[in-house]
């Protein structure tokens, strides 16, 4: 895979009367993590959703591998996974079923691949239980398995460490590090510093 590149220029976005993104520029290439920081309400969630195309940008453009994403939305979407504040899981399905339908929609999956991903995120023990019966952190781990399984170059993560125990914080760091090593790139909104190789880590601080 040639090195991927996400670039955004002069993003402007209003929520109701509020000018939330005031000309944000960013540039992340394969192997880099861009950490979004900023006080509560600074616009981290808004920026992540806008990049994914879930919030309407008033002005500015987003480029994926130097192509405007509006020219090939499906292609761009196929290259990214967005994980928001809440894990996108069906509470009546088991973790394995959730992954089968959710990530399976993106690329064909084998059962062993699913099992492996669940194992990698420490969710192997409860993959066969309905998600509804899982604790908050267990649910988050199942969602992270979906992230791993998708095998896409671009990760957009909104507070991925929420609800995770101390071992889980390290899990996130490990997952991101591996992803970067593989040439992927990630943008994550995290409040505390992640233990990631500083040469790969860049920071974008949003002001409220």
Partner 1 sequence: MTWTWFHRLGSPPYIYRLAGILTPWFGWLAGVLLVGALYDGLVIAPPDYQQGDGFRIMYVHVPTAWLSLMIYTWMAVAAAVGLIWRIKVAHAVAAACAPIGASFTAVALLTGMLFGKPMWGTYWVWDPRLTSELLLLFLYLGYMGLRSSFDDLQRADRASAVLAIVGVVNVPIVHFSVVWWNSLHQGSSLSLTGKDTIATPMLIPLLLSMLGFTLYFVAVLLVRLRGEVLRRERAASWVAEVVAT
Partner 2 sequence: MSDRLTPPLTAARLVVSRDLLLAFRRPEQLVHPLAFFVMVTTLFPLSVSPERAQLRAIAPGVLWVAALLAALLALDFLFRDDAQDGTLEQYALSGQSLTWLLLGKTAAHWLLTGLPLSLMAPLMGYTLGVPMSAGAGIMVTVALGSLALSFIGSIGAALTLGVRRGGVLLSILILPLAVPILIFGSRATELAIRGETYLAPMELLASVVVLSFTLAPLAAAAAVRISLE
Ligand X SMILES: Nc1ncnc2c1ncn2[C@@H]1O[C@H](COP(=O)(O)OP(=O)(O)OP(=O)(O)O)[C@@H](O)[C@H]1O
**Minimum gap (Å) between residue 133 Cβ and partner 2:** 13
Rg from Cα positions in the chain = 17
Among 1, 2, 17, 112, interactor with partner 1 by CB under 8 A: 17
Q: Does 133 bind partner 1 (CB under 8 A)?
A: yes
Q: Give 4's contacts (C-beta < 8 A, 6+ positions apart).
A: 29, 30, 64, 65, 79, 153, 154, 183, 184, 185
Q: Does 119 bind partner 1 (CB under 8 A)?
A: no
Q: Does 107 bind partner 1 (CB under 8 A)?
A: no
3-state secondary structure (DSSP) of residue 133 = helix
Q: Does 15 bind partner 1 (CB under 8 A)?
A: yes
Among 73, 136, 178, 193, interactor with Mg ion by CB under 5 A: 136
DSSP string, 141-187: HHHHHHHHHH--SEEEEESTTTT--HHHHHHHHHHHHHHHHTT-EEE
Q: Does 84 bind partner 2 (CB under 8 A)?
A: yes
Q: Does 138 bind ligand X (CB under 6 A)?
A: yes
3-state secondary structure (DSSP) of residue 116 = helix
Which lies closer to partner 2 via its Cβ, residue 50 or residue 118?
50
Beta sheet of 80-83, edge-to-edge order: 80-83, 154-158, 185-189, 33-37, 201-205
Q: Show contacts with Mg ion in window 35-54 (CB under 5 A).
A: 45
**What is d(CA 82, CA 104) in angstroms, rounded to the nearest whole number?**
16
**Minimum gap (Å) between residue 133 Cβ and partner 1:** 7
14 is in the binding site of which of its own copies, ligand X, partner 1, none (Cβ under 5 to 8 A by kind)? partner 1
Q: Does 136 bind ligand X (CB under 6 A)?
A: yes
64 is in the binding site of which of Mg ion, its own copies, partner 2, none (Cβ under 5 to 8 A by kind)? none
**What is d(CA 163, CA 83) in angstroms, rounded to the nearest whole number?**
14
**Minimum gap (Å) between residue 95 Cβ and partner 1:** 16
């Amino acid at each position: 895979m040639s090195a991927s590149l996400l670039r955004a220029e002069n993003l402007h976005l209003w929520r109701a009367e509020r000018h939330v993104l005031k000309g944000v520029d960013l540039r992340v290439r394969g192997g880099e993590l861009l950490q979004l920081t900023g006080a509560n309400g600074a616009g981290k969630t808004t920026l992540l959703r806008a990049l994914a195309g879930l919030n309407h940008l008033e002005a500015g453009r987003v480029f994926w591998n130097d192509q405007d994403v509006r020219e090939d939305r499906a292609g761009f979407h196929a290259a990214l996974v967005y994980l928001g504040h809440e894990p996108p899981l069906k509470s009546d399905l088991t973790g394995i079923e959730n992954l089968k339908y959710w990530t399976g929609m993106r690329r064909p999956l084998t059962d062993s691949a699913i099992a492996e991903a669940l194992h990698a995120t420490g969710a192997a023990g409860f993959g066969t239980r309905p998600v509804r019966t899982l604790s908050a952190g267990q649910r988050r781990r199942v969602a992270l398995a979906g992230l791993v399984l998708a095998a896409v170059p671009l990760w957009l993560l909104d507070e991925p460490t929420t609800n995770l125990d101390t071992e889980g914080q390290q899990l996130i760091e490990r997952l991101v590090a591996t992803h970067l090593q593989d040439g992927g790139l990630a943008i994550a909104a995290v409040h505390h510093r992640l233990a990631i190789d500083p040469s790969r880590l860049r920071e974008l601080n949003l002001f409220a």
